[in-house]
Amino acid sequence: MLSRTQNLDLNKSREQAAQNPEDIAAQLEVADLDVIGGHVEDAFARLVTLISRLVDDERERVRRRLIELYAVVGNTDPRVAASRQKLARVLF
């Protein structure tokens, strides 16, 4: 995750994501930056919302990143448990 974000500009990434809510790469960048910056719930909510709008391979790509972020934060963290419940509702 650090290698993915080392050359990103937080403000530019946020602006890109805000202007292009369907841009998967932009949303993934901001989610990574949010986790690094301690905005874990925001990152999780961003990706769960994105997953709810996607299908097939795109949905799986974002789901995999979200699972990766869960592991980074720690699977015993209560924010992970809460997000997993929201993810399950979106997927099923």
38, exposed or middle or buried, with CB in 10 Å at 0-12, 13-18, 19+?
exposed
Closest CA to 22 of 49, 60, 43: 49
> Where residue 2 falls among pLDDT bands split at 50, 70, 90?
confident
**Segment 49-89, tens digit of pLDDT:** 999 999 999 999 999 999 999 999 999 999 999 999 999 99
> Where residue 92 falls among pLDDT bands split at 50, 70, 90?
confident
**Segment 25-41, tens digit of pLDDT:** 999 999 999 999 999 99
Q: How far apart (Å, rounded) are the C-alpha atoms in residues 3 and 34? A: 15
Q: What is the pLDDT of residue 3?
A: 85
Q: Which amino acid is at 46?
A: R
Q: Which amino acid is at 10?
A: L
Q: What is the pLDDT of residue 33?
A: 96
The single residue listed with the structure tokens 């805000």 is 18
In this structure, what token pair is assigned to residue 44?
Answer: 């999780």
Q: What is the pLDDT of residue 15?
A: 96
Q: What is the pLDDT of residue 49?
A: 97
**With a threshold of 0.85, does the pTM exceed it?**
yes
